[in-house]
Chains A and B, each alone.
Chain A
Amino acid sequence: MGFKRYVEIGRVALINYGKDYGKLVVIVDVVDQNRALVDAPDMVRSQLNFKRLTLTDIKIDINRAPRKKNLIEAMEKSDVKGKWESSSWGRKLIVQKKRASLNDFDRFKVMLAKIKRGSLVRQELAKLKKESA
């Protein structure tokens, strides 16, 4: 029909509201229609409302409610972190974080780099225009 991302045991999700905003967690069990038991290597296993989660494409292979050790092993084996950081969504978030943490000197450097890139593009464009004219 169209749904590609399902709530299932092993689905990796991003927390999009609340104290743990921005964390990647794994859905470890489903409490009921609205809540899931959710776990990540650096947090206590807790229940979260689905409204606070955004599902990702990544899914790992675990049993229902695994031990913390097994969960960490399974996450390492399927390289959740690597897959996330190489996905376009993950990369966007990394860039956003980097931009937010720039200091004034860094922003100055970015400005110079943008000007340089713009000038190179315009030079190439001028060349192509001349050739086609």
Chain B
Amino acid sequence: MVAYRYHQYQVVGRALPTESDDHPKIYRMKLWNTNEVRAKSKFWYFLRKLKKVKKSNGQILAINEIFEKNPTKINNYGIWLRYQSRTGYHNMYKEFRDTTLNGAVEQMYSEMASRHRVRSPCIQIIKTATIPAKLCKRESTKQFHNSKIKFPLVFKKVRPPTRKLKTTYKASRPNLFV
């Protein structure tokens, strides 16, 4: 199993209580980041943009990691994001097929970095959702919605089963036919 770099956290925080406001409103956010420390930091980044509160006059009440309920089931994930390109901000909607939401988010970050050269600090996830197969918009995910899917593997990559057995020279040319 791949170890996912991105974890999903639920961060709950509020402004510190003052004399004028004894019970400030509590806000909850669901974030993706590599660890808890970064998730808390990102929470304040977003909250600062929405409300008049900073980390210095606020407190985090809870941070919990959210785990995938059923990582053996394949889902189609739709991710709405806002990213900063060299010329401005744009919105985007991307679809991914994966077993877990964290995996889909990691795919998204990889794809944005490769296709659009957008690094992860410049991406804001607006919304994620599990999309039923009927409502998928992208052809590249819809082509796998086939219960009798069948395709050949065209090239077989020949590699030693452990890196210990790797050698620079081989006695014969490899057979690439599957």
**Which residues in A have some Cβ–Cβ distance to B below 8 Å?**
2-3, 5-9, 16-17, 21, 29-32, 37, 44-47, 50-51, 54-55, 63-65
Interface residues in B, total, Cβ within 8 A: 26
Structural contact, B178 and A5, CB atoms closer than 8 A: yes
Instruction: Say yes or no: A65 contacts B98, CB within 8 Å.
Output: no
B74 with A65: CB separation less than 8 A: yes
- Selected from B72, B151, B152, B157, the residue in CB contact (under 8 A) with A44 is B72
Residues of A within 8 A of B74 (CB): 29, 31, 37, 65
Question: Given the complex of chains A and B, what is the CA–CA distance between A65 and B147 in angstroms?
Answer: 9
Task: Give complex CA distance A6, B154 in Å.
Answer: 10
Top 7 nearest A-B pairs by Cβ distance? A3-B152, A45-B72, A8-B150, A64-B147, A6-B150, A32-B97, A46-B1
B77 to chain A, nearest CB (A): 11
In the complex, are the beta carbons of B1 and A21 less than 8 A apart? Answer: no
| Total A-B Cβ pairs within 8 A | 60
B49 to chain A, nearest CB (A): 34
Given contacts A8-B151, A32-B140, 10 further A-B contacts (CB under 8 A): A7-B149, A16-B161, A30-B144, A30-B149, A31-B74, A31-B98, A32-B97, A37-B99, A44-B72, A47-B99
Does B73 have its Cβ within 8 Å of any Cβ on chain A? yes
Residue B51 lies at the interface, judged by CB distance under 8 Å to chain A: no
Residues of A within 8 A of B98 (CB): 31-32
Could you list which residues of chain B lie within 8 angstroms of chain A, going by C-beta atoms?
A: 1-2, 72-74, 97-99, 140-141, 144, 147-154, 156-157, 159, 161-162, 177-178
- Which of B2, B72, B154 has the most C-beta atoms of chain A within 10 angstroms of its own C-beta? B72
- The answer for the CA separation of A45 and B71 in the assembled complex, in Å, is 9
A-B contact list, 30 entries, CB within 8 Å: A2-B177, A3-B178, A5-B153, A6-B150, A6-B151, A7-B153, A8-B150, A9-B147, A9-B148, A9-B149, A16-B161, A17-B161, A21-B161, A30-B144, A31-B74, A31-B98, A31-B99, A31-B144, A32-B140, A32-B141, A44-B72, A45-B72, A46-B1, A46-B72, A47-B1, A47-B99, A51-B157, A55-B153, A63-B147, A65-B73
